Amino acid sequence: MIERLRQGPTTGQAEQADKAAIPLSQWRLASIQAAIPGLQAYSLSGVWRVLQRYGLKLRTASVQQYSPDPDYESKLAHLLACLSQTAQDPTNTVFVFLDEMGYYCWPEVAKVWAEVAPAQAPQAERHQAKQQQWRVIGTLNALTGQVDYLDGYIVGRAKVIQMYQHLVDRYPQAAHIYVAQDNWSIHKHPDVEAALTELPLIEPVWLPTYAPWLNPIEKLWRWLRQEVLTMHRLAGDWPTLRQRVRDFLAQFATGSADLLRYVGLAGQGKLACALQST
């Protein structure tokens, strides 16, 4: 039964179950009943109980991760090679992941613990505050978990250049600094490329297009949203909210083993294995 359900419903089963010519994209109890001979004598509630006994239940699906970049494999191989080189020569080589994020003064909505009895659901309070946005550019050291960031109303080419210079100042002992980043047009702006010629220590490592799973700092942003921005109560106090974000990022200023585990740079993942010096 399980193998049959994995195949998905066919047009014929949709017509048997629903008397319609439109094929189904997912199973329903009626189409499962029509497709499995042993279930055709059951009521729909009986089919549901049989599925429960087999350990089958409705689950939320996840999107298959896929990058359309035709050079995905070569870019991934280069990324892993740079990580491995950093692990073998950590005194002279630094590897950081770079990314940007934006956030708003209005709280993000999420499930929260609350009383069942009150008719009114928990609310993301906005206090009639005007919506405002702030932006952050940050880097995550692949070996230490050290986080550096700059923030402002605008994060564009000037902030990217400023971050490059900050990295050179931050790692004065480094002979080479790899900066893994996505393909946002600002990263390849002529002004940024010109600045890189003046900062020979910096070498961009271009990630495959639409492959956020290869940039662990994305998980740092997720952690930030969960801890600080979701259901916060500071919609009417924009300066305090921005300071909360800075305080959260500042706790990783000297590195963090917990952060490395959280983002997948410690353990048995593909990126973590590349960092295990040989």
pTM over 0.85: no
Q: Taking the chain, what is the end-to-end CA distance rounded to the nearest angstrom?
A: 47
Buried b (16+ CB within 10 A) or exposed e, 161-178: bebbebbbebbeebebbb
Compute the CA torsion angle 18, 21, 26, 28 (nearest 10 deg).
0
Q: Which domain holds residue 16?
A: 2-53
Complete DSSP assignment for 71-91: THHHHHHHHHHHHHHHHH-TT
* Count of domains for the chain: 2
Mean pLDDT of 124-143: 91
State the average pLDDT for the chain.
91
User: Is pLDDT above 80 for 127?
Assistant: no
pLDDT in tens, 231-247: 999 999 999 999 999 99
Specify the CATH number for the domain of residue 269: 3.30.420.10
164-191 residue pLDDT tens? 999 999 999 999 999 999 999 999 999 9
pLDDT at 110 over 80: yes
In this structure, of 14-28, 198-212, 263-277, the range with the lowest mean pLDDT score is 14-28
Look at residues 149, 165, 164, 160 and name the one whose alpha carbon lies nearest to residue 246.
149
Q: Are residues 8 and 127 in the same domain?
A: no
Beta carbons within 10 angstroms of residue 77's beta carbon = 11
CA–CA separation, 101 vs 118, rounded Å?
Answer: 36
117 within domain boundaries: yes
Give dist(CA 221, CA 138) in Å, integer.
10
97 and 39 part of one domain: no
Confidence of residue 121 (pLDDT cuts 50, 70, 90): confident
Euclidean distance between CA atoms 236 and 247, whole angstroms: 19
What pLDDT is stored for residue 124 in this prediction? Answer: 86
Lowest-pLDDT range of 62-71, 109-118, 144-153, 247-256: 109-118
Identify whether 125 is part of a domain: yes
The confidence score (pLDDT) of residue 1 equals 77
Are residues 256 and 167 both part of a single domain?
yes
- In single-letter form, the type of residue at position 237 comes to D
Average pLDDT over residues 44-67: 88
The whole-angstrom separation of Cα 268 and Cα 262 is: 12
Q: Could you give the percent of the chain with pLDDT greater than 90?
A: 72
Give the whole-angstrom CA distance, residue 33 versus residue 36: 6
Residues 35 and 149 in one domain: no
Residue 64 lies in a domain: no
- In this predicted structure, what is the pLDDT of residue 21? 57
